[in-house]
């Protein structure tokens, strides 16, 4: 049974200014996904109800799609995003926005482990805290977390910025490459080969430009910018200490 509601019958149905309401419930996710893709291709705004923390919702959405998930979602919501604007009303499970290339994802509450893993571009905005390994292996884009980022966030990030406004957990930025982790608040401890640098005015301006559209810019913040110490970049393979302890 279709979960689409709110579309009138007759020739007027399907115009771009109408909102499509899609119910998840216990329906097959493939069926829900097909309805979302159909509405996105038609240029309709989408509201998804009774999400029940189901997994794999809103995967591979195209540019121009605007979608809101009411309630909480499970694993991998917004994965492979190709430019859609995605709003999650409450919490998100593991891997939210994984491998996304473009677009914007807002999580209204907590985001689980590995938010933004391997992402290439776009912005993820988490209004609560994040679980472990936020931004693991990310290649580009920005992750803004109003709360605290969890254990080993930024692990092996090759590019992009993680911006945490509420502190960071243990092993922050472990094995970082060319990504950056910006933190206000306490940091439990730094990971292997992570160093804190004093940001320049130009670098702070770049971060403010990311925060300003979200209403989060604050010139009074004291930033710590964490980057790679680069010892892991050039280590001798026989030197096990470069991996185990620096």
Cβ atoms of residues 72 and 48 within 8 Å? no
Closest CA to 176 of 233, 124, 119, 224: 233
Residue-averaged pLDDT of the chain:
92
Averaged pLDDT for residues 50-58: 98
Residue with tokens 């470069």: 242
Closest CA to 35 of 21, 50, 49: 21
On the question of pLDDT at 176 being above 50, the answer is: yes
Averaged pLDDT for residues 89-107: 98
pLDDT of the residue at 49:
98
Q: Which stretch of DSSP H or E encloses residue 143?
A: strand 142-145
Residue 154's CB is within 10 A of a number of other CB atoms, namely: 33
- The whole-angstrom separation of Cα 223 and Cα 219 is 10
pLDDT of the residue at 238:
57
Q: What are phi and psi of 42, to 5 degrees?
A: -80, -5
CA distances from 106 to 53, 87, 115, 233 (A): 16, 5, 11, 34
Tell me the domain boundaries of the chain. Answer: 1-7+17-102, 129-246
Cβ atoms of residues 4 and 35 within 8 Å? yes
Averaged pLDDT for residues 170-176: 97
On the question of pLDDT at 233 being above 90, the answer is: no
On the question of pLDDT at 179 being above 60, the answer is: yes
pLDDT of the residue at 8:
34
For 241, the 3-state DSSP assignment is helix
Q: For residue range 105-156, what is the model confidence (pLDDT) as tens digits?
A: 999 999 999 999 999 999 999 999 999 999 999 999 999 999 999 999 999 9
Burial (0-12, 13-18, 19+ Cβ within 10 Å), 178: middle
Cβ atoms of residues 137 and 158 within 8 Å? yes
Per cent of the chain over pLDDT 90 is: 86
pLDDT of the residue at 243:
58
Cβ atoms of residues 212 and 223 within 8 Å? no
For 112, the 3-state DSSP assignment is coil
Q: Which stretch of DSSP H or E encloses residue 206?
A: helix 201-211
Averaged pLDDT for residues 4-24: 61
């Amino acid at each position: 049974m279709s979960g689409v509601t709110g579309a009138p019958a007759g020739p007027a149905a399907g115009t771009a200014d109408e909102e499509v309401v899609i119910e998840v419930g216990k329906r097959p996710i493939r069926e829900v996904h097909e309805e979302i893709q159909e509405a996105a291709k038609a240029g309709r705004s989408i509201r998804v109800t009774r999400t029940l923390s189901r997994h794999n919702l809103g995967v591979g959405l195209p540019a121009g799609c605007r979608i809101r998930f009411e309630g909480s979602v499970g694993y991998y919501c917004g994965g492979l995003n190709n430019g859609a604007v995605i709003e999650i009303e409450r919490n998100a499970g593991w891997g939210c926005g994984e491998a996304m290339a473009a677009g914007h994802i807002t999580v209204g509450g907590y985001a689980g482990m590995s938010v933004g893993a391997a992402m290439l571009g776009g912005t993820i905005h988490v209004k609560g805290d994040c679980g472990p390994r936020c931004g693991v292996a990310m290649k580009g884009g920005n992750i803004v977390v109003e709360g605290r980022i969890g254990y080993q966030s930024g692990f092996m990030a090759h590019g992009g910025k993680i911006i945490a406004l509420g502190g960071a957990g243990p092993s922050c930025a472990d094995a970082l490459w060319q990504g950056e982790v910006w933190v206000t608040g306490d940091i439990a401890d730094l990971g292997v080969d992570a160093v804190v640098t004093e940001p320049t005015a130009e670098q702070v301006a770049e971060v403010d430009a990311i925060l300003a559209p979200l209403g989060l810019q604050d010139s009074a913040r004291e930033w710590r910018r964490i980057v790679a110490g680069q010892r892991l970049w050039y280590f001798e393979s026989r030197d096990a200490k470069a991996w185990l302890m620096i």
